[in-house]
Structure 1
Amino acid sequence: MIVDPIKEGLARGWQHIDGAALDAPLELEADVVIVGTGAGGGTAAEILTQAGLKVVMLEAGPLRSSSHFVMEERVAYPDLYQQSAAMKTRDGAIGMLQGRSVGGSTTVNWTTSIRTPVNTLNHWAQHHEIAGLSRAELDPWFERAEQRLNIHPWPVPPNRNNDVLAKGCEALGWEYTVIRRNVKGCANLGYCGMGCPINAKQSMLVSTIPAALDGGATLLSRTEAWKLVQQGDQVTALECRTRDPNHQRREVTVTVRARHYLLCGGALHSPALLLRSEVPNPYGLVGQRTFLHPSLLSVADFEAPVSAHAGAPQSVYSDQFVWPESGLGFKLEVAPLHPVLTATKVPGFGATHADLMARFNHVQGTIALVRDGFSEESQGGVMTLDNQGDPVLDYPLNEAFWDAARRAHLAMAEAQFAAGAKRVLTVDDELPWWSSWAEAKAGIANLRMAPRKTTVASAHIMGGCAMSDNPALGVVNSLGQHHQLTNLSVMDGSMLPTSLGANPQLTLYGIVGRNATLLAQRLTGRA
């Protein structure tokens, strides 16, 4: 029998308020109010609560647990993802996956845990005036997070989907690495993106948030932070809106007053809150330089079954092309393929699409994550507000990106053929199936790639409230403190001044662990 830690905690008296159930306005007071319960918010909540501070956590999505995770895309996507996993950039050219429930994206991510690359941290120090975030300084915080969340190299042989990447790299002499995963008692099911039904994934949902609630924190679900009220250089209150079970906004409000306000709503929603609140923004940086790791997909058809839906979703990656001498680099990983995700990401109609889906158990998916934000030709996107006050992202796909996309598709196809693929599909509206590496090499070199024609997606949204110790370059400093408002901090993916060249969750665990600990010391006056 699977024990549900959320049900057990609620039964023993956790302070949880479902905004959908409120029938009158609510006012609360706290030492710290945390907006968002993902990698940043969950990490900070445990640290601040353990320091003896009174903490209120706000989450716009619902509180779900293993009792709700039924491993069906039709249920998981509407319940656990922003916009039912169909969110896109303004022009529709890039699909974006982001969690929306207690635990945020850590509840639905694929468990890949990678320390921030040294090259990335060095770039931040040199070009963004960020101090204190070298690997030597961060490694103790990474080690702490790895121990807390049971992060270790995946000891099980890779599933066939990941093994294709490993075998292709081996055949070509390319570098590849076994991924470290935040799991404990994992049954190798392969459905991490729909919530872990056995609580093996050590997400914030089953680790730090229960610890914070056991320590006396209060959790409000279906409660959306809407506006920061300010007076002088201080935030004096946070006004919130509640949501109903269908995620629609309600008239019932919640107001929280705190000593300190901590934004951990993610790289779209933290900047959106600052823009709605009209906080001081003297250099116009809020919402600017938003990065995605815009990713390409290559599908390969194999004679033997691949069953890319089964087994640990990601257990192998390759950094062979992350740091090229020129142009944008890209990281090679694989993507688990489930029916709805596959059917919606691969273009085509009618018989063509049906033929591909008929080969579903024989297809493998390799992805290339483009490392954006490290050069003048890669400035990322700009997040603004629509007429409802919700975030919308403009992310232009320029020639520098398409150059990287072409190189990425060539690399993916070469690896897939080297691993024994019968044919390879460059995921593009033209649906070009290549029957050999020679054909793919010639065809991809001449394929016209363009927005909304070539499939581009992202599960990593970063930036928009960038760190820098220079107020002219960043919204917050390297400790996450807002440069103009003394009792406001940002500790989530929005604080990253570029993308990472690595999956972001462990970066956030480490940096937020450090910054939240220092915040706790400032607020309590003790180490």
Structure 2
Amino acid sequence: MNNYDFDYLIIGSGFGGSVSAHRLTQKGYSVAVMEMGKRWRAEDFPESNTQVNRYYWRPRIGLRGFFNLRPFRHVAIICGNAVGGGSITYANTLLVPPDSVWEEGSWAGLSDWKKEMPAHYAEAERMLGVTENRIFGTADHLLKEMADLHGVGHTYKPTRVAAFFPPEGEEGGKTYPDPYFGGEGPDRGTCTGCGSCMTGCKYNAKNTLDKNYLYFAEKNGAKVYAETRVVDVRPLDGKADGSAGYEVTTERSTAWVRKQSQTFRVKSVVFSASSLGTQELLFRLKQTGSLPNISDDLGNRVRTNAESIVGIRFPGKDINISEGVAIGSGIHIDEHTHIEATRYGNGHNMMASLMTLMVDGKGPLRILKWFWAMLRHPVTFARAVSPANWARQSLIFLVMQTLDASLNMRFKRRWYWPFSRILCSEGKKIPTNIPQANEFTKKMAAHFNGIPFTTATEVFFNVPFTAHCMGGCAMADTPERGVIDAQNRVFNYQNLYVVDGAMLGANLGVNPSLTITALAERAMSFIPHRDEAIKEATV
């Protein structure tokens, strides 16, 4: 094992990658983490997400932020690119899914999940500092009132979030010595309830991965290569199954001309580049012949939590919906449909450009109804979509369902870009209009004198938004039904793992970050300590 630059090379530093890095360094392995995005400090985050060059990630056109929006035919997917992965820009909500998810999908029957997972969830919550939300803003109070009016007030619950709240009676924004790891972790600031969790916490209060798992991985010797993209992974020494290790080639992700290519010899590789990133890279490696034996099931059954984003705008009212954490509370309007009260920090108005008036229907009829609504009510339309004070005046509903719906991803040439292959979606359309959520939103908008809105992509392209892309490299019992086995090992290869959202085998119906973390803890529990591995190899 001394012939390698690193024992493990991890592609991506999100929830799967950071957990893997920490646990592997604990077990004595040398670890490298390749992260395509930049490293961010609290003081580096933009004052507003209208500062597109510091918020959006599109390095080819000079945008080097941390928020990425990738449009596909069937869905528009939000993801993060940064050291710490999606934890930098996610809504900071960590929920355990219902037990029924383990009885569904490709991972059903692979393990005694209900017995195994509670301990891994508990450790994930400890490391991420998960606690019940303690700062309730206008959005949370409105949601509670709406739930009572709708007859579901008994389902109202505060969210469980990864934030450091101030001690009772103290104001937020103060710095304290590490409150989580007996002084071994970094100093932390306390939450002010500014609502800017998704645009970068400037108070050092959000428990992002660079403050826990990744922090300790680096403290234990892991080397993080920021702004670095992996472009090739191929087996060493003619061993097609990877039993001799891998040669990994990287380049500078933010460079236009000088790519600064590097090559590393490693024993094992962990793909943790997010569901989309891992699928895209594995497709490329399969088609170029670097890893030709990746299962043909790659890209199948990609799920989105059957998600929809709707909301209510309150223009002209003396109201500040921005106060609180990004997602502070939630309700169930029926057994399958969960709604969370969501907000952006005051001044973070960029999302207004992606929203429009809510209209029902599908396809061309829905577009015609939208035009008719715009012509009949031009003032209402202008007030609904105006970016001025949008975050302050907009209560966003993140709607998720446990009902299963999926699509497939493929890697191919398109007529509009025949020069190279790109990741594309295929299959039946996934739901873009959740009628019960729309009815709830319109009813509440009418009662509170607001304007209901939805995403423009739903109206014009019949395409929903999601921040919860899951699956595509699913866990299963055979390579005909999935890409990895029950221990996250890639079928047909040795020393190759997938540990991120791509591994999920069923629709969770809740924010997936905690489940990804818990499953990553489980995956790393199967890997022995380095000393034990060396003894076993020499026997």
TM band (smaller chain):
0.7 to 0.9
> Is contact 2:327-2:341 (8 Å) kept?
yes
> Is contact 2:50-2:349 (8 Å) kept?
no
Counterpart code for 2:324: G
Structure 1: gaps of 5 or more residues: 1-26, 324-329, 430-448
Instruction: Decide whether aligned partners of structure 1 residues 468 and 211 sit closer, same or farther in structure 2, where only a CA change above 3 A counts.
Output: same
Q: What SS is found at the alignment partner of 1:67?
A: helix
Quick one: which of 313, 329, 346 aligns to 2:356?
A: 346
Task: Establish whether residue 367 from structure 1 lines up as the match of residue 372 from structure 2.
Answer: no
> Is contact 1:154-1:315 (8 Å) kept?
yes
Cα separation, 1, equivalents of 2:37 and 2:356: 28
Equivalent residue number for residue 218 of structure 1: 223
Task: Establish whether residue 109 from structure 1 lines up as the match of residue 90 from structure 2.
Answer: yes
Cα separation, 1, equivalents of 2:5 and 2:134: 46
Equivalent residue number for residue 298 of structure 2: 286
Match runs of 1:44-193 below 5 Å: 44-75=20-51, 78-79=54-55, 81=57, 85=67, 87-91=69-73, 94-124=75-105, 128-132=107-111, 134-156=113-135, 158-174=136-152, 175-184=155-164, 185-193=190-198
Counterpart code for 1:212: A
Quick one: which of 247, 251, 276 aligns to 1:241?
A: 251
Task: Give deviations 1:280-320, integer Å, cap 9, x for gaps.
Answer: 45652112221223323132437754423332110111234
Equivalent residue number for residue 185 of structure 2: none
Match runs of 1:295-444 below 5 Å: 295-301=308-314, 304-323=317-336, 330-337=337-344, 338-346=348-356, 354-356=382-384, 357=386, 360=390, 361-371=392-402, 374=404, 378-384=405-411, 392-394=423-425, 398=429, 401-402=431-432, 405-417=434-446, 420-427=447-454
Cα separation, 1, equivalents of 2:257 and 2:476: 35
Cα separation, 2, equivalents of 1:199 and 1:254: 33
Equivalent residue number for residue 170 of structure 2: none
**What is the aligned length?**
462
> Is contact 1:303-1:421 (8 Å) kept?
no
The Cα of 1:371 is off from its aligned counterpart by 4.1
Q: What SS is found at the alignment partner of 2:298?
A: coil
After alignment, is 344-353 or 258-267 more displaced? 344-353
Instruction: Decide whether aligned partners of structure 1 residues 149 and 165 sit closer, same or farther in structure 2, where only a CA change above 3 A counts.
Output: same
Instruction: Decide whether aligned partners of structure 1 residues 455 and 80 sit closer, same or farther in structure 2, where only a CA change above 3 A counts.
Output: same
Task: Establish whether residue 37 from structure 1 lines up as the match of residue 65 from structure 2.
Answer: no
TM-score where L is the length of structure 2: 0.78
Cα separation, 2, equivalents of 1:277 and 1:243: 18
The Cα of 1:233 is off from its aligned counterpart by 0.7
Task: Establish whether residue 491 from structure 1 lines up as the match of residue 491 from structure 2.
Answer: no
The Cα of 1:426 is off from its aligned counterpart by 4.2
Task: Give deviations 1:46-94, integer Å, cap 9, x for gaps.
Answer: 1111111100000011111112113321347754646864633333x63
Cα separation, 2, equivalents of 1:466 and 1:70: 36
> Is contact 2:455-2:464 (8 Å) kept?
no
> Is contact 2:320-2:393 (8 Å) kept?
yes
The Cα of 1:510 is off from its aligned counterpart by 0.6
Task: Give deviations 1:311-364, integer Å, cap 9, x for gaps.
Answer: 2110111234353xxxxxx32113314311123333699966542235734332
Cα separation, 1, equivalents of 2:399 and 2:442: 11
The Cα of 1:207 is off from its aligned counterpart by 1.5
Q: What SS is found at the alignment partner of 1:260?
A: strand
> Is contact 2:15-2:517 (8 Å) kept?
yes
Q: What SS is found at the alignment partner of 2:332?
A: coil
TM-score where L is the length of structure 1: 0.80
Aligned-pair identity in percent equals 19
Equivalent residue number for residue 256 of structure 1: 264
> Is contact 2:94-2:511 (8 Å) kept?
yes
CA RMSD of aligned residues (A): 3.0
> Is contact 1:161-1:306 (8 Å) kept?
no
Cα separation, 2, equivalents of 1:176 and 1:258: 49
Equivalent residue number for residue 207 of structure 1: 212
After alignment, is 78-87 or 136-145 more displaced? 78-87
Q: What SS is found at the alignment partner of 2:246?
A: strand
Instruction: Decide whether aligned partners of structure 1 residues 52 and 172 sit closer, same or farther in structure 2, where only a CA change above 3 A counts.
Output: same
Cα separation, 1, equivalents of 2:528 and 2:53: 36
Q: What SS is found at the alignment partner of 1:315?
A: strand
Equivalent residue number for residue 327 of structure 1: none
Instruction: Decide whether aligned partners of structure 1 residues 364 and 394 sit closer, same or farther in structure 2, where only a CA change above 3 A counts.
Output: same
> Is contact 2:455-2:465 (8 Å) kept?
no
Equivalent residue number for residue 16 of structure 1: none
Instruction: Decide whether aligned partners of structure 1 residues 237 and 50 sit closer, same or farther in structure 2, where only a CA change above 3 A counts.
Output: same
Cα separation, 1, equivalents of 2:38 and 2:412: 23
Structure 2: gaps of 5 or more residues: 165-189, 358-369
Counterpart code for 1:70: P
Cα separation, 2, equivalents of 1:296 and 1:262: 33
